[in-house]
Amino acid sequence: MDSINSDVDAELASIPEICIQAEIARYITFATHQCDIAVIADLVVHNPLQTGLEDLTLHLTAEPKVLGDRVWRIDRIGAESEFHLRDRRVSIAGGLLDSLTERMRAEVTLQLRKGETVLAESCHPIIALARNEWGGSNYMPELLAAFVTPNDPAVQRILKEASLVLEASGKSGALDGYQSKSRKRSWEIVSGLWAAVSRRGLTYAEPPASFGRHGQKIRLPSMIEEQGLATCLDTALLFAAAIEQAGLNPVVVFTEDHALTGAWLQPQTLRTLTTEDPIDIRKAIAQDELVLFETTMATGGHAMPFSRAIAEGRRQVSEANENAFVYAIDIRQARGRDIQPLSSLVRAAAGDGGQGRILPEQPLRSMKRQIFPPSTLTRSLKRRRKRQRSGLSDGSAVCLISPSAIGFSI
């Protein structure tokens, strides 16, 4: 009897089945809706039968309703053939995603029907992320640019303070991007932004493990200003937003479990939206086209000179650390692909959001002699925290310096 049942099961298993093949985004977020990113990358119905199928409908539903329902009508699928759906657009529940404060699991169901008879079905899990959550480079690398928010009110206050810093140092207070056609001037603007952020006395917050690949919740600039806390990704995006608002082109670079920010010193971009080749970054730095810096050195209340942040940025993308490089994203390239900043609902906070005194900076030694060994940043941060607990200062001043003083041949 068991052998008969086994034969029947084997015969049933050998009958070809109609199937639906779909490539659906694993994560969606409010930024997916705002930037009109496709949720379905591929959608195919396979008909392995020796007879054709006619008058079919393909139904998409989601529960909870993170996606809107859709029905496709298919006139015919030939025998032993497949049908590719080219119009794969589905509506995204922007209002729901805009209101999420935590992740929400959902399931997308696809059913192929002939009349009321279901011929095939496939189910796909999907995770709706919180409004301020990025899904990581494994799933949505390009959407990181949506979290660079230059119009955030906190960014405007940083720019105002950077302008005052520049004027106090005898420079022009105009944040005029590339209008001067001078890489030296672009460098000065970024240095002014460094000083403005440094005087805010932000406290560094440890990011989750592997955030570069798997993502994390992001504090947007106004939230950083309100809480006084920031991870390395938070500060990287804060600086990128300020750089963009100042009229320069920012780059965000990821290494394993870390993020840095760069600014193009002349009006150019990476050749592509993202790159996984650190040579592109090293080459631009070596040719004094890009300044890359360690943003967490602006936290802690005892800000380090901008030159040390630049030296650490160079070290982290050096050949010695090539295996740690994950990818870089060019924000200007992203804007050209219509990946725009997240709409902001925050209100401008009262006050200037910053405390501290800007001191004139003295010329420093050559940057090449200041490049840190691999563990120096960690040791430096620990020393700074220890000094903070004991009420001592590290002697660093927030100040402007000449780019030529640290090795820039501009």
Q: Residue 373: which pLDDT band, with cuts at 50, 70 and 90?
A: very low
Domain membership of residue 51 as a residue range: 16-128
Could you say which of 99, 128, 157 is where a domain stops? 128
Helix 183-198 and helix 153-168, axial crossing angle in degrees, nearest 10: 110
Number of domains in the chain: 2
| Same domain (yes/no): 64, 164 | no
Confidence at residue 347, expressed as pLDDT on a 0 to 100 scale: 42
Q: Could you tell me how far CA 100 lies from the centroid of its own chain?
A: 19
- Identify the pLDDT of residue 404: 54
pLDDT of residue 137: 85
CA dist 304 and 270 (Å) reads 29
Dihedral sign, CA of 228, 232, 237, 238? positive
Same domain for 359 and 232: yes
- Res 377: pLDDT: 33
8 found inside a domain: no
Are 153 and 101 contained in the same domain? Answer: no
Could you give the 3-state DSSP secondary structure of residue 10? helix
44 domain-assigned = yes
Quick one: average pLDDT of 253-272? 95
The answer on pLDDT for 86 being more than 90 is: yes
For residues 348, 197, 155, 239, the Cα torsion angle rounded to the nearest 10 degrees is -150
DSSP states of 279-299 = HHHHHHHHTTSEEEE-GGGG-
Phi, psi dihedral angles at 121 (to 5 degrees): -150, 145
Give every CB contact of residue 402 below 8 A, 6+ residues apart in sequence: 363
Is the separation of the CB atoms in 259 and 300 below 8 Å? Answer: no
Distance of CA 185 to the CA centre of its chain: 27
Residues 70 and 119 in one domain: yes
CA distances from 320 to 31, 261, 268, 307, 370 (A): 35, 19, 27, 20, 16
* Inter-residue contact 273 to 142 (CB < 8 Å): yes
How confident is the model over 251-273, as a mean pLDDT?
95
Are 373 and 314 members of one domain?
yes
Same domain, 181 and 291: yes
What pLDDT sits at residue 8? 40
> Would the pLDDT of 4 be above 50?
no
pLDDT digits (tens, 9 = 90+) for 176-210: 999 999 999 999 999 999 999 999 999 998 876 55
What per-residue confidence (pLDDT) applies to 48? Answer: 95
Answer whether residue 389 shows pLDDT above 90: no
How far is it, in rounded angstroms, from Cα 179 to Cα 160?
A: 18
Element (H, E) at 360: none
Cβ neighbours, 10 Å, residue 376: 14
Q: Is 73 in the same domain as 144? A: no
Task: Lowest mean pLDDT of 71-80, 133-142, 325-334, 389-398, name the range.
Answer: 389-398
Q: Tell me the per-residue pLDDT of 264-292, one tens digit each, with 9 for 90 and over.
A: 999 999 999 999 999 999 999 999 999 99
343 and 314 in a common domain = yes
- Model confidence over 299-347: pLDDT tens digits? 986 668 999 999 999 999 999 999 999 999 999 999 999 999 998 654 4
Does any domain span residue 133? no
119: enclosing H helix or E strand:
strand 117-128
Q: Using a pLDDT cut of 70, give the percent of the chain over it.
A: 78
Verify that 376 and 264 share a domain, yes or no. yes
Q: Is residue 84 part of a domain?
A: yes
**261 in the same domain as 149:** yes
> Which region holds residue 207: left if phi is over 0, alpha if psi is between -120 and 50, else beta?
beta
Is there a domain that residue 134 lies in?
A: no
The confidence score (pLDDT) of residue 243 equals 98
List strand residue ranges (DSSP E) for 173-324, in order.
203-204, 216-217, 229-230, 250-255, 258-264, 274-275, 290-293
Q: Do residue 309 and residue 211 come from a single domain?
A: yes
Residue 297 or residue 300, greater confidence: 297
Average pLDDT in the chain: 84
Mean pLDDT along residues 29-34: 95
pLDDT at residue 394 is higher than 50? no
CA distance readout (Å), 271 to 10, 144, 188, 268, 298: 55, 18, 25, 9, 29
Task: Count CB neighbours of 167 within 10 A.
Answer: 13
Q: Is the pLDDT at 361 greater than 70, yes or no?
A: no
Strand partners, 19: 46
1 CB-near residues (< 8 Å, 6+ apart)? none
Query: Given 73, 101, 128, which residue is the final one in a domain?
Result: 128
Q: What backbone phi and psi angles, to 5 degrees, belong to 54? A: -130, 160
| pLDDT attached to residue 194 | 97
For residue 376, pLDDT beyond 80: no
Per-residue pLDDT for 351 more than 70?
Answer: no
Q: What is the tens place of the pLDDT at every residue in 104-153? A: 999 999 999 999 999 999 999 999 999 999 998 888 899 999 999 999 99
pLDDT above 80 for 2: no
Q: How far apart are CA 2 and CA 334, in angstroms?
A: 62
Rounded distance, CA 369 to CA 256, Å?
25
Spatial CA neighbour of 304 closest among 219, 204, 184: 204
Domain boundary among 128, 149, 176: 128
